[in-house]
Amino acid sequence: MVKKAPAQKSSQKRVSELRALIEHHNHLYHGLDTPEVSDAEYDALVRELQGLEADNPDLFSVASPTQSVGATASTTFDPVQHSVPMTSLDNAMDTVELGAWGERVAKGLSGAAAEFVCELKIDGLAVSIRYENGVLVQAATRGDGKVGEDVTANVSTIAVIPKKLTAVNGTVPDVLEVRGEVYMPFAAFEKFKKQKEEENVVRIAAGKKPEAVPVNPRNAGAGSLRQKNAEVTASRELAFWAYQLGETQGVPEFTTHKESLEYLTALGFAINPSITVVSTIEEVNAFCAHWQNKRDTLQYEIDGAVVKVNSLPQREVLGFTSRAPRWAIAFKFPPEERTTILRDIQVSVGRTGRTTPFAVLEPVFVGGSTVGMATLHNRAQVALKDVRPGDTVVVRKAGDVIPEVVGPVLAKRPKNSVPWEFPTHCACPLHTELVQVDGEADTRCIDEQCPFQRDQRIIYFASRGGMDIEGLGERTVLSLSDLEFVEDVGDIYALTEEQLLQIEGFGALSAQKLLAAIDASRHRPLPKLLTALGIKHLGPAASESLSLAFGNLDVIASASADDLASIDGVGGVIAASITKWFEQPANKKIIEKMRTAGVDFGNVERTSLPQVLAGKAVVVTGTLNGFSREEAEAAVKLRGGKSPGSVSAKTYAVVVGAEPGASKLTKAEQLGVPILNEEMFLALLETGEI
């Protein structure tokens, strides 16, 4: 007998480990809707196994999970035999792999040109729905591709899925199986999540353990579809996109996939509006890149794009592997969710004393960057999510959004785990007791002498939204504070080059640049200065209104609360906060420091433009040709109008450019708010009328 080499033994052991792991995760994901790892981590396991099997042909097995689809159907529902197997898709993780697939397609077609249909890869649950003589008779999950679960009653509750087909040219097909994705839209997910959190508040108050809160729309949607009680499914507001035909009898002859989708639309199915037909792999790459950057503008979750050969005869030529069609591939986007270890929970203190718990994580690459910390929002959220140091947690980062801990993976929780308790005192040297004010979710340090608050006030003052002092970021402010060179924002204007050179990493050039930036900030417009002071409740919009009304910081400081409250957009709460701030001796001292330093208290940009939009709110969304977003909003305000960030019943008009925010556009349509293009916007600025 030939002995196996050590390397081969090692490969065989790893192959066995990977097969067992993947089967385990398949069962959790497809069968129980309770995954322990993210999609990206699962994909990495599968690709490692595929590589080992390719490098060691003698280890190949038809029973390997690389040769199968999904997982064995659950015994909770009756089994359904698919008349046409529901195959899976091979993955491309980057443009190189996508290009290699394109080359394989060209080779398989002997060099013949091919069109491609590009679709969004919806992160939901694949189902097959069968109609006989135009009536819905059965719906099933994918299962292992051959046998799925009977979810007919549940699917029948989804409003967008037709129960009877619309006749096309006077007829309906004898048999039609349509494949598609059941998913939970973000709005429905947030509603469901909020409901679970509210239920947990009641459970915690009653001394009971909180139940798991859904961590993402995919798991929530799949779990909702697999409810034994169809009424529960109906309450979850699921949706569906159709994307492929299965078995058919009595349907027209199609030559392209796009034609079959148009036919499904005519029958009454919802087809994703982003589906695009292109002629080259370069155009496919452009489609994928576009939606990778714009995925956060959608009202549902996607994790990639699906690319299919459009020609049905060409698909016949290309055929299938044991588990996937050669004529289609899934292009996977970088993950926005990963799992990692929660090392610790700590609490930061902001400029107003608000405390924010945050997670210290085992660093993980997610959403395009390595994340080592993530927000936990507030005290209540930590309790509701029941995340604990030592937990394996789901971390989410979408685009530029601050990373957050979504929730724990309970199956991996250490046995000795105990709930985390919010601290009772501030971690600063003053060790002040933390207070949770009635009616507020936030816990605060109420000692305004707290050095943590002081440092954050200075950081906020120098930030882009404040006085925009380039070079005076968090690290520099903390260094200046440690050296006791700044006690408040007024001290910024007394800094010297000699002091700055004592900061680690600062040379003469960087010190001179910072001093020049500080000097330039003396002449910022009054609304910027007023906002930068960090007065509680006072934001940029109210600061601008106050500046236009009073014209000078000293006048605002001496105005009565009633006079302040009379200004549009201010009101009693903000007015009271302003008067309280200016009455405090420490803040009076800050104002005098800035006055001595020559900070301009009366730089107000006034306009001679007619106030044609006075009292009108105009929301801007999308990219305009002649304006940046800020310029368009400024144009509205210069004519007396408001430009809020959200649409309401009081909105006068919504200006829509290229690639607008879907939520704003949908809200405007629901409320009947006029929608204007750029040309109409220019006319509005001129006349104030639509």
CATH value at residue 39: 1.10.287.610
Q: In this predicted structure, what is the pLDDT of residue 586?
A: 93
User: In whole angstroms, what is the distance from residue 293 CA to residue 401 CA?
Assistant: 13
Q: Could you write out the three-class secondary structure of 553-616?
A: HHHHHHCCHHHHHCCCCCHHHHHHHHHHHHHCHHHHHHHHHHHHCCCCCCCCCCCCCCCCCCCC
Q: Which of 289, 308, 332 is the last residue of a domain?
A: 332
Q: Is 75 a domain residue? A: no
Tell whether 460 is covered by a domain: no
451 lies in a domain?
Answer: no
Task: Note if 121 is an active site residue.
Answer: yes
Which CATH number goes with the domain that contains 245?
A: 3.30.470.30
Residue 479 inside a domain? The answer is no
On whether residue 469 sits in a domain, the answer given is no
Residue 650: CB atoms within 10 Å: 12
Q: Please report whether residue 372 resides in a domain.
A: yes
CATH number of 635's domain: 3.40.50.10190
**How far from 547 is each of 328, 566, 567, CA to CA, in Å?**
60, 13, 10
The angle, 0 to 180 degrees and rounded to 10, between the axes of the packed helices 6-26 and 39-55 is: 140
Kindly report the backbone phi and psi dihedral angles of residue 34, in degrees, each rounded to the nearest multiple of 5, phi listed first: -135, 65
Is 169 found in the same domain as 295?
yes
Active-site position among 121, 616, 642, 664: 121
pLDDT of residue 1: 44
Q: How far apart are CA 97 and CA 329, in angstroms?
A: 10
CATH of the domain at 595: 1.10.150.20
- Ranges assigned E (strand) in 429-568: 434-436, 443-445
CA 122 to CA 125: how far, in whole Å? 9
Considering the domain architecture, whether residues 400 and 265 belong to the same structural domain is answered as no
What pLDDT shows up at residue 30? 61
What is the dihedral sign for C-alpha 146, 149, 153, 155? negative
Distances (CA, A) of 482 to 193, 475, 479, 490, 512: 43, 11, 5, 17, 21
320 shares a domain with 369: no
The domain of 58 spans: 6-67
What single DSSP character describes residue 386? T
Does 423 map to a domain? yes
User: Quick one: 574 and 628 in the same domain?
Assistant: no
CA nearest to 395, candidates 419, 360, 355: 360
406 and 298 co-located in one domain: no
Residues 444 and 536: beta-carbon distance below 8 Å? no
* Whether residue 552 is found in the same domain as residue 410: no
324-327, long-range: CB < 8 A, 24+ apart: 324/69, 324/87, 324/88, 324/89, 324/90, 325/87, 325/89, 326/104, 326/105, 326/108, 327/105
User: Same structural domain for residues 625 and 600?
Assistant: no
How far is the C-alpha of 151 from the C-alpha of 225, rounded, in Å?
Answer: 7
Q: 636 to each of 247, 551, 602, 619, 687, how far by Cα in Å?
A: 56, 20, 23, 9, 12
Domain final residue pick, 556, 572, 605: 605
Query: How far is Cα of residue 483 from the mean position of the Cα atoms in its chain?
Result: 40
Q: Tell me, what amino acid is at 48?
A: E
595 and 622 together in one domain: no
Positions of the chain with pLDDT under 50 = 1-3, 73-74
Instruction: Say whether both 286 and 369 belong to one domain.
Output: no
**Which residue type sits at 564?**
L
Task: With H, G, I as helix, E, B as strand and everything else as coil, classify residue 28.
Answer: helix
Pair type for strands 392-396 and 337-349: antiparallel
Coil, helix or strand at residue 121 = strand
> Mapping DSSP to helix (H, G, I), strand (E, B) and coil, where does residue 149 land?
strand
Q: Is residue 491 part of a domain?
A: no
What is the predicted pLDDT for the residue at 62? 63
Q: Looking at the structure, do residues 251 and 188 belong to the same domain, yes or no?
A: yes
Pair of tokens at residue 357:
């718990």
Q: Based on the domain organization, do 263 and 342 belong to the same domain?
A: no
Q: ∠ CA 389-395-397 to the nearest 5 degrees?
A: 145
Query: Nearest 10 degrees: CA dihedral of 389, 390, 392, 398?
Result: 40
Alpha-carbon distance of 140 to 153, in angstroms, equals 10
CB 39 within 8 A of CB 303: yes
Whole-angstrom distance, CA of residue 376 vs CA of residue 443: 13
186 and 110 part of one domain: yes
Q: How far is 474 from 456, CA to CA, in rounded Å? A: 8
Nearest Cα neighbor of 405 from 414, 396, 413 is 396
Q: How many domains does the chain have?
A: 5
Q: Are strands 135-141 and 125-132 parallel, antiparallel or unpaired?
A: antiparallel
CA–CA separation, 579 vs 583, rounded Å? Answer: 6
Q: Determine contact, residues 420/388, Cβ cutoff 8 Å.
A: yes
> Which alpha helices (H) appear in 115-184, and where do they start and end?
152-155
Q: Give yes or no for a contact between 674 and 656, defined as CB atoms under 8 angstroms apart.
A: no
Tell me, what's the pLDDT at 304? 92
CA 433, CA 449: separation in Å to the nearest integer? 13
